[in-house]
Amino acid sequence: MNISYIVNDEPYALFPGDSNLYAYSYIFIVLGSFSFATNFLMLIVLFSDKQCRRKSLFMIVLGVGDSVNGLALAVTGIWRLIFLLDGGRTMDALVDDGVCFLRFTFLWILGTQLPSFIILMASGDRLAAVLFYKWYLDTWSSKKIVVTISMLILICGTSTVCSTLILVTKPGRKVETACYTPSVVGHVYANYHYSVALTCSTVSVISVTWTSFLIRRQIRRHQLTSNSTARLNKEWTKNRSLICLSLIDLIFVAIPTFLILLALSSPSLSIDKYFDGFRSSILITFRSSLNIFVNLYFNKRFNFSVKIFLLPCLMKNRVSPLTPDSLQH
């Protein structure tokens, strides 16, 4: 049984039934668990260091979002595997309205869309810090934590609910949730869901690229005071990690979602032979597992905190004076 969207009387199998479902289930469990574990470890380290916690709000929020993403993939993999081992057909489980809505769709959509919204808002925050520095410092910096979290809850919550609560009325039946059903409504849902991730990824890359250009131009072309130069260099340092995360988001989120949308709009291209929803989910969650490595590379304080956190395991019988400079090498 295929979960397909009928487009111009030609089906595109978003989650093809002839795939190796056992293999995908195990991959989902392993990759989802790894992503959840790395982001959870990153959050523990960030919260254990006051300086990291104060200066890494974006990574904390992103770590929470990507923990949800990893958890969603692992849990859906477990559900699929249990259903397969019980002798059932996984695809029947996915299209069951109650199971799909309560156990699969909401968590999976939230895990996919939340990190994309977080990266988009972080890129907007960096752009505002460069373009409107005085306003940012005087007004926005003291309110951005509350406003950012509130906007994330409002925007991402609304988008997730809109993606999940796609209602279709069938003759003789009550209004029900349409979860991956072969219908026009399902096609509209898929286009909306994947368009959200594609749009957020693309806009965030454009935003951080423009921010980087503005910073470098101000540093090179203008006579700046020492305070201004230090501020811009600080913004440039913050922007580098965001550039890296945005490019990773572009590669592992924007491109896969674009391929899905292209396959939905042009079934004649036969993209489903090479790419489907399973592979897209794997790539999106793989991006989530890279956060801790990006933070280790760009954030010296976080690097130091990780070494302090792991020190009891690595140096049980060795005592030496510790400083951030001594542990950077």
262-296 tens-digit pLDDT: 877 776 777 766 776 777 778 888 888 888 888 88
d(CA 196, CA 292) in angstroms, rounded, equals 25
Query: Given this model, what pLDDT does residue 88 score?
Result: 55
Structural contact between residues 250 and 187, judged by C-beta atoms closer than 8 angstroms: no
pLDDT over 80 at 201, yes or no: yes
Residue that wins the pLDDT comparison between 221 and 179 = 221
Q: Assign domain 17-309 to its CATH architecture.
A: Up-down Bundle (1.20)
Q: How confident is the model over 195-205, as a mean pLDDT?
A: 84
Q: How confident is the model over 24-52, as a mean pLDDT?
A: 87
Residue that wins the pLDDT comparison between 209 and 87 = 209
Residue 314: C-alpha distances to residues 44, 306, 311, 319, 327 (Å): 18, 12, 5, 11, 13
Point out the least confidently predicted range of 36-40, 89-93, 172-176. Answer: 172-176
Query: Given this model, what pLDDT does residue 175 score?
Result: 35
Can you give the residue ranges of every domain in the chain? 17-309
The mean of the pLDDT values for the chain is: 70
pLDDT over 60 at 226, yes or no: no
Q: How confident is the model over 161-185, as a mean pLDDT?
A: 47
Rg (CA), the chain: 22
